[in-house]
Chains A and B, each alone.
Chain A
């Protein structure tokens, strides 16, 4: 704590008790065997999930085990790039580090053949027309821009099919 002179006047403005500094975080991510498989799939432009040998449910992305049964998932399942919006919100709040222009749709997308939804961006439709049950398809980046990351999926967009019946996805809300 030191007395700081104020600009120009030479008068002290009191002790410094608080200092705001920029925040920054750089880190390396080590995905492990199961997530590497999923990320390598994204690099090839496909969604790769895994089926539990006990309950036969398909996890995407798979963490390598079924949390319900406590067993390793070993069978790879390649999923189509189509799915259903189970629920969503319209994000209209700015925050530090945000990379997408607001407002945007953050939706839970249940890929066809999967038993777990994940969060995806919805575009090519006005925000007030997005619906629970809306059918969507993945839009990938150009082949030479594919990376082992979900950044390979630019967004999901309506695929023109009729909305899914509530009963078909209500277990995945």
Chain B
């Protein structure tokens, strides 16, 4: 029988294009200290540290966990680094949660970050290789053809992506930590933004951010902090090969399997009616309708109709990305953890202006690489 696991502290930096006032160590420490303060703990209360970030090439800083250990108070304690590309912030939190639920530690600090301004992620993602033509233009260049395939398959009208781009930026206006605060955002502004990877426009893509996220997780007998805990009701990870014949990248099998697993653990049979709020990894606008289908919030082909109806808006029946989402802040390695962290804040009632009233059960999801890594958790205000 696994131990119960609770989120008792959360912290994050103000995400920005360039945090040139701090080093990477300063960045992660800022988020970690905030999480410790929220949990009403000090460094010495922590048993172990689990840290995650996206590929080392993004900053050109190899094995950064070694140099960050002292900044995170991990000297003399276990420190473990996780890497699953863009989903890493989520899977890092899950590795930390499993150390609690396995009964190995009572309090674990988990941290994830990216300092994109230290290097050039577009370059790092577009390294030429002899078995591929040098065409890949960053993540947008990889995902735009898949988005086009979704549009063709579902018959979704063009304006759906623009609606998501506006909705998530409006949510970001409620979140003081979000990178983008576009007060004048509307459909026309998105439509008039430059086409980067046709069919994707500039404002339908995530920004490039510096930032970090941190959480303190604890066992039931070690709960502390200024807000009630968020209890972990389910956790799941899945992966699939980047390429195999018949692979469905629009609706990946690994995502469907991961959702089925986490729902079964949390007793969810009807996600749309049972889940109060969800933070889902949407780095490009069209991934909202695609993941609505992949996560079983609607029938296949109907995701865009849900978006169009306003169901996923802040005042809709299933608000998605109340924090502003990846579309408003993208410190890549931290982006998955920010999804997990936002839903913990929601069920703890500490989300301030972006709080959904009465949120009691919430889903956080992250994906990464060529949609081949998925991580998800369901957290609730009641004990599981």
Contact = CB atoms under 8 A, between A and B. Distances in A.
B75 interface: no
A66 B130 contact: no
B144 interface: yes
Interface stretch (B146-154, B162-170, B223-231, B295-303): B146-154
B265 interface: no
A119 B132 contact: yes
Interface in B31-57: none
Contacts of A31: 130-131
Interface string A83-98: 0001111111101111
A61 B246 CA distance: 15
Contact of B197 (A25, A90, A96): A90
A149 B152 CA distance: 32
B320 to A, nearest CB: 24
Interface string A119-154: 111000001000010000000000000001111010
A171 interface: yes
A68 B245 CA distance: 8
Given A90-B198, A127-B198, A120 B130 contact: no
A35 interface: yes
A104 B144 CA distance: 13
B145 A87 contact: yes
Given A108-B145, A170-B153, A92 B195 contact: yes
A21 to B, nearest CB: 9
A140 to B, nearest CB: 13
Interface string B112-135: 000000011011001111111111
Given A67-B241, A67-B243, A170-B153, A87 B148 contact: yes
Interface in B313-342: none
B141 A91 contact: yes
B197 A93 contact: yes
A107 B145 contact: yes
A52 B244 CA distance: 11
**How big is the A interface, by class?**
35 or more
Given A18-B20, A87-B152, A91-B197, A115 B246 contact: yes
Contacts of B133: 118-121, 150-151, 153
Nearest to A69: B244
A77 interface: no
Contacts of A61: 131
A108 B146 CA distance: 10
A31 B152 CA distance: 36
The 5 closest A-B pairs by CB, nearest first: A89-B144, A90-B198, A173-B149, A115-B245, A67-B244
Interface of A: 17-18, 23, 25, 29, 31, 35, 38-39, 52, 55, 57-59, 61, 66-68, 86-93, 95-100, 103-104, 106-108, 115-116, 118-121, 127, 132, 148-151, 153, 166, 170-173
14 contacts: A25-B127, A29-B130, A68-B246, A88-B148, A89-B141, A90-B195, A92-B197, A97-B123, A103-B198, A106-B137, A119-B133, A148-B130, A149-B131, A150-B133
Given A23-B123, A91-B141, 19 more contacts: A23-B60, A67-B243, A68-B245, A87-B145, A87-B148, A87-B149, A89-B148, A89-B198, A91-B196, A91-B197, A92-B195, A93-B122, A103-B198, A106-B135, A118-B132, A119-B136, A121-B133, A153-B133, A173-B250
